[in-house]
Amino acid sequence: MRTRWYIYLRWFILSAIVVPGIVSLYVGYGWSAQLQDSLKLGLIAFGTNAVFFALSRMVKSKTVVRALITTIFVIDIAMITFFIYTKGGIESRSVIVYVVPIIMSAAIFSRKGVYGSALLSVLAYDVLILCNYFGVFASRGSLYPDLQIDSSYVINTIIFFNALLILISVAVDFIARLLMSNEQLATRRLNELMRAQSIAKFGSWEWKKVADVLVWSDELYEIFGIEKTSVPITFERYLECIHPDDKKLVIDEIHKASLTGMSFAFDHRIVLANGTVRYISSNGQSYSDKNGEITHLTGTARDITDSKLLEHAKNDFVAVTSHQLRTPATIVKQYTTMLSEGYAGEVTTQQKDFLKTIYDSNERQITIINDLLNIARIDSGNFNMNVQRTDLIAMLKQIRIEHSGKYKSKNQRLLFKPKYQKVYCNVDGDQIKMAIENLLDNAHKYTPAKKAVKIELKRKRKGVLISISDEGIGIPSKDIHKIFDMFSRIDNPSVLQEEGTGIGLYWAKKIITVHGGTIDVVSEHKHGTTFTIGLPYKIAK
């Protein structure tokens, strides 16, 4: 590629020197012998360049290509020397043309080429001067007379131009090494990035909206199982790869981003040519021109098939295991109740205490099993919600009544003073109630006696905010980010004294999320915590 680039450069230089020179000769002297000689020389130069261009396209061997470009450099130096001999004169400005092969040899052969071209240029120039001085031949160009009779002047001229060319070659070598060092660094980082993308199964893309051209990274072709060709990918070709059930989601998300300029992030499936299904996590951002028109979108796509399959396997395991555990736990509950009620004979007070402990522990186990089953259903997409028009004020009043006894047993106050008579939302009332009760259970556990827990509901333009605030021990700032993780427990002695499954908050967030809502937490260590649930009036389809 660099060889061809130099050949293109030679055409440009020849055109810039030969064509104006011939035109000026013709204007000044007409169809003279000098013009004819110059024309012949120019045709020879253009002809050799055409031959070199043809050979550069035919030759495939790197060794032959290097030999070809070396030949070009040698011929260039010879032609420059001949041009100086016939046209310019030894002291003319034409000497500076030697810089061209010196610079180009740096780009192609690095420092060996730089100094090789410089030494060859020096040698050719010195031979020209010395031959002229010793009368081997006379310069056909204009020549300063002292170069033919004054040896000291000859030596000074040789030293000056030799030093000048060598100095230029040193400067070119330094600049070339600096540029090549930066190029090597950039290439190394690009290779590292490509390796990282390959390991992470991560690719990048750009969609030029107006031209409808998708530019993909190599890794993206690999992920989608498409062979990279010179034909660009179009948006329609991309959509052909999308799983039929996910096509509407992809179109809607990208269409919305291309109209509004918003970013997007979503997961979807693709189907390879062999029928294999892969899961893709897509992220993108729109960009507009100075008139505000969306011109292109850029983003990334990551193959998350392995993690999705692992997640499905985990959910299936949890669901099957929980289902199998629930049956014996239910039987334990039934028989414990029967024993407590004397179906197998009279039970002493101490035995009743033991049976109550068994019953309570079993109830807790059944609760955990049910929570795990529900979580598995949500994560697998098999969770069906019974969405109905629900009065949240009535729900919160009922929750307060049902939990008041538990709060009173710990000498706590559960407060709810509604500002509205009724507030309706389209939600699954039972599931939202469970999510709120999980938050109230946490507040009850971690709030000291004689303190209060307050429930509030505020109406907003697009939905409602339900907050549960306590005066408890709070959550350290370093642990805030992990409280919604499954089986998460806060590293705090006060918290560890309380029982907990580590899935209550995870479950609550899952419920709120499938409703299209949000759940946030603000906490000050040792001063209390506030959880805020945001619910839309109507779940978006």
Question: Token digits for 423?
Answer: 């507030």
State the Rg of the chain over Cα. Answer: 42
User: Which residue ranges make up each domain of the chain?
Assistant: 59-184, 201-303, 308-380, 388-536
First to last CA, the chain: 55
294-303 and 463-470: which strand pairing?
Answer: unpaired
Residue 473 sits at φ, ψ, to 5 deg, of -80, -15
Q: How many residues in total does the chain contain? A: 541
DSSP string of 2-27, one letter each residue: HHHHHHHHHHHHHHHHHHHHHHHHHH
Rounded CA-CA distance 282/276 in Å is: 19
Give the Cα separation of 235 and 256 in Å (integer).
15
* Residue partners of 443: CB distance under 8 A and separation at least 6: 453, 468, 470, 472, 529
DSSP conformation letters of 385-417: P--EEEEHHHHHHHHHHHHHHHHHHTT-EEEE-
CA gap 173, 238 in Å, rounded: 47
Q: Which two tokens stand for residue 391?
A: 């009065």
Structure tokens at 44: 């020879």
For 205, residues 6+ apart whose C-beta sits below 8 A from its C-beta are 214, 215, 216, 217, 220, 298, 299, 300, 301
Q: What six digits make up the tokens of 219?
A: 């890794």
* 3-state secondary structure (DSSP) of residue 259: helix
Which pLDDT belongs to residue 399?
92
Write down the residue that tokens 């071209």 correspond to.
Answer: 117
Do 180 and 110 form a contact (C-beta atoms < 8 A)? yes
- CA–centroid distance for 482 within its chain: 25
Classify residue 186 by burial, with Cβ atoms within 10 Å: 0-12, 13-18, 19+.
Answer: exposed
How far apart CA 271 and CA 278 sit, in angstroms, is: 6
Is 388-536 the same fold as 201-303? no
Q: What are the b/e assignments for 399-417, b being 16+ CB within 10 Å?
A: bbeebeeebeeeebebebe
Tens-binned pLDDT, residue by residue, of the chain (541 aa): 667 777 777 788 778 777 887 788 778 778 877 778 778 878 888 888 888 888 888 877 878 878 888 888 888 888 888 777 776 555 556 677 788 888 878 777 777 888 888 899 899 888 888 887 787 766 555 555 666 677 887 788 888 888 888 888 888 888 877 877 777 777 787 677 667 666 667 788 898 888 888 888 888 888 898 888 878 888 898 999 999 999 998 998 888 888 888 888 888 999 998 989 999 999 888 888 888 888 889 988 888 888 887 777 766 766 676 667 777 888 888 888 888 888 888 888 888 888 888 888 888 787 777 777 777 767 666 667 788 999 999 999 999 999 988 898 889 999 999 999 999 999 999 889 989 998 998 888 888 888 999 999 999 988 999 999 998 888 887 878 778 876 666 655 454 444 555 677 888 888 898 888 999 999 887 788 999 999 998 876 5
Which among 255, 249, 251, 257 is positioned nearest to 238, based on CA atoms? Answer: 251
Its sign, for the CA torsion 336, 342, 348, 353, is positive
Contact 439, 531 (CB under 8 A): yes
Burial of 10 (0-12, 13-18, 19+ CB in 10 A): buried
CATH architecture of 388-536: 2-Layer Sandwich (3.30)
Q: What are phi and psi of 32, to 5 degrees?
A: -90, 170
508 vs 517: CA distance, rounded Å: 11
Q: Provide the pLDDT for residue 318.
A: 64
Residue 302: φ, ψ to 5°: -125, 135
For 244, which DSSP code? Answer: G
d(CA 70, CA 73): 5
Q: Which residues, including other chains, have CB under 8 Å from residue 474's CB and lie 6 or more apart?
A: 523, 524, 525, 526, 527, 528, 529
List, in sequence order, the alpha helices (H) in 447-503: 493-496
The identity of residue 29, as a single letter, is Y
Q: What is the pLDDT of residue 141?
A: 56
CATH 3.30.450.20 matches 201-303: yes
Q: Which residues pair with 216 in a beta bridge?
A: 205
Nearest to 445 by CA among 487, 521, 499: 499
In sequence order, the β-bridge partners of residue 416 are 455
Q: Which residue has the tokens 């997640």?
A: 311
